[in-house]
Structure 1
């Protein structure tokens, strides 16, 4: 199974059909169903249900294509969200089923990306992520693919990678914007909401679920979430890294460090955390022009070469208390879910360690969550790449089941 849902293309697929761009101006007098976060929506493409059934059948995914009965129209939207006390414009792709039936909503959060080309609003229409989301919409669901802050319309900002509050609020405001679009188009929508995502998208999904339970979300009733393979305990993720001699995705470390320095306005230079020449160069790697693999090629996978040895040795000492505080603040371990959450992780995953999910699941149960509410499914033999397909099959079948209950 290709790791196509995280941004790789389905090479054998051809684009079928096209449509003219069309602006949708929000009709404020009709938008009473949600907070008004929508700025603009542009219709970009329509795809027949039959094509989507064919695409998914060819993908090898074990999902029920007979449920894909509606043609789907894609929109790019921009919407308002908050970033460090300011209102900014973010972006997302919305897939809408062409139906007069009442629809529910799914927000699917993507995995780690570093380049603008990988953002959902910049993906080719033949990309597997776009095709899968469209297929899901074809079953009668509104499907949202948020870019996240730092990509698309907000590409001039540094992405707040693994920052809980900015991640959750940007997802929530994108969901509100989708509801406003649906209202403008006079579609019928209910209050049922699902959240899903893999890798960083798993973290974003759990962070948003936590936000909905603790803060609330107007006009929506979260029915279930499906986080998979995320580093939910950020502090434990750091501790895992520091037990290794080498790590095959060193850009993850650089990403977190530079994102936290930017988000929290740390005065410390990056040479506090990294050795030269990497410390001086890292800030230039996250300008949206380079993918994660390209950044990896510019860094060392030997942690003793990449990281400042004083930081490795003293990460839990008072001198680095601000780092530990940020890791703990963004770790999703201090809450008790009461709405169903289906967790997944491959037990052969060494990119985002399987044990991180195992331990977070145990902490949530210890916090008082019911095992009937929070479940954990091991994707047997799944690596960070090969676990994607089984996860998609599991969560899609669960959503179909819940929608039919």
Structure 2
């Protein structure tokens, strides 16, 4: 004879199941989607090899800080661009150790050629040696290609577009944490950010984004942005007021980036004179070098830029969309609460020293304390010669803070 459960028993079990299912203590934690897609080892280096290479390089870095052997990987990871999921790429260097280690994300400066992307560097390249040397001192080193290079080369690089740049960095950091876990590297959850020129801008953009929305289980300790042109409106005023500017491709790069990102088809025609309006779309092809792009432009601002724009950009409603794009991507509307060390060469006229000075002043005026935000001038250094002393000092500071 088949026994039928009583209504009372059914009700009891139903209520019990409902209470258990609805209990906060028994709810599984939300699933965090993985972002790492693939990792491929590029090379391995011993600590001794790295010490020797750094000593030969002449850098002011104590070789004794390099303790660990390092594996360097080319990685792909998921990120978002204008609301759509895409796959981006970068380089991650992992120290081979059971000790707990920190992480540093290093943002590269302005590049236009696909062969200059970090993930395009082959085994033995000096760039990979530098990343491995940093990793050997006790850091997981993350180097995003940035959207527009490597795996995402079908997208035009969003040059000086705050949101897109910051998101690619944040997701590469997440991918690095996943790779470290997969390789049994113990990450202590302490993150640093560093970068020079566009990399300085990208570093500050990522710092701002992480303060606004922290990365789960990762604590930003400090950032080190350098020579970044953070105030794009001020950069525009500076360049427009020059009779000659030695790097006109910077201006064309920003304009082409904003034209495509904001889908403003008439931006180049509003900005430049012919024949430059017609030339610019074909110059940023991922093959032509920055020097050769400059040759196709003019370093005379009166010849390159439309006179009406130079005179009326700040006031004419016709150009409001350009003003708004510059304002939206200028990093002067916030107040960092996590330590930031800003660097800039005092003789820099490519990205003018004054741009960092006024950005620093604006962030202080916004409420950041001078204890949190430090400004470090590099006396006698320009945009090129400021790089080495910046790198050397950042490595020392990270060793102290890690």
Q: 2:135 corresponds to which residue?
A: 137
Q: 2:83 corresponds to which residue?
A: 85
5+ unaligned residues in a row in structure 1: which ranges?
1-31
Q: What is the CA-CA distance between 1:290 and the residue it aligns to?
A: 1.3
Matches of 1:99 and 1:141, distance apart in 2: 10
Matches of 2:153 and 2:178, distance apart in 1: 23
Q: Secondary structure at the match of 1:376?
A: strand
Matches of 1:210 and 1:254, distance apart in 2: 26
Kindly indicate whether residue 356 of structure 2 is the aligned counterpart of residue 349 of structure 1.
no
Distance 1:246 1:345, change over 3 A: same
Matches of 2:318 and 2:376, distance apart in 1: 39
Matches of 2:368 and 2:33, distance apart in 1: 30
Matches of 2:289 and 2:133, distance apart in 1: 27
Q: What is the CA-CA distance between 1:267 and the residue it aligns to?
A: 3.0
Matches of 1:232 and 1:270, distance apart in 2: 22
Does the CA contact (< 8 Å) of 1:34 and 1:180 recur in 2? Answer: no
Matches of 1:113 and 1:293, distance apart in 2: 11
Distance 1:241 1:383, change over 3 A: same
Q: 1:211 corresponds to which residue?
A: 209
Q: After the TM superposition, which residues 1-400 of structure 1 pair with which residues of structure 2 at under 5 Å, given as runs?
A: 35-316=33-314, 317-400=316-399
Matches of 1:269 and 1:361, distance apart in 2: 30
Distance 1:268 1:152, change over 3 A: same
Matches of 1:334 and 1:133, distance apart in 2: 32
Normalising by the residue count of structure 2, what TM-score does the alignment of the two structures yield?
Answer: 0.91
Does the CA contact (< 8 Å) of 1:34 and 1:179 recur in 2? Answer: no
Does the CA contact (< 8 Å) of 2:114 and 2:120 recur in 1? Answer: yes
Does the CA contact (< 8 Å) of 1:33 and 1:179 recur in 2? Answer: no
Q: What is the CA-CA distance between 1:84 and the residue it aligns to?
A: 1.2
Q: What is the CA-CA distance between 1:283 and the residue it aligns to?
A: 0.8
Matches of 1:397 and 1:104, distance apart in 2: 14
Q: What is the CA-CA distance between 1:129 and the residue it aligns to?
A: 2.5
CA-to-aligned-CA distance 1:118-176 (integer Å, 9 cap, x gap): 10011243433222111000011100110000000000110000000000000000000
5+ unaligned residues in a row in structure 2: which ranges?
1-29
Q: What is the CA-CA distance between 1:314 and the residue it aligns to?
A: 1.6
Does the CA contact (< 8 Å) of 2:332 and 2:359 recur in 1? Answer: yes
Matches of 2:369 and 2:123, distance apart in 1: 41
Does the CA contact (< 8 Å) of 1:223 and 1:339 recur in 2? Answer: yes
Pick which of 198-207 and 57-66 moved more: 57-66
Distance 1:294 1:33, change over 3 A: farther
Matches of 2:62 and 2:45, distance apart in 1: 18
Distance 1:34 1:194, change over 3 A: farther
Does the CA contact (< 8 Å) of 2:95 and 2:185 recur in 1? Answer: no
Q: Secondary structure at the match of 2:175?
A: helix
Q: 1:21 corresponds to which residue?
A: none
Q: What is the CA-CA distance between 1:348 and the residue it aligns to?
A: 0.3
CA-to-aligned-CA distance 1:220-268 (integer Å, 9 cap, x gap): 1000000001000011000100110111100001000000010011131
RMSD between aligned alpha carbons?
1.3
Does the CA contact (< 8 Å) of 2:75 and 2:92 recur in 1? Answer: yes
| Larger Rg over CA atoms | 2
Q: Which has the higher helix share?
A: 2
Matches of 2:58 and 2:185, distance apart in 1: 32
Question: How many corresponding residue pairs?
Answer: 372
Matches of 1:84 and 1:331, distance apart in 2: 18
Q: Secondary structure at the match of 1:148?
A: coil
Q: 1:402 corresponds to which residue?
A: 401
Q: Secondary structure at the match of 1:79?
A: strand
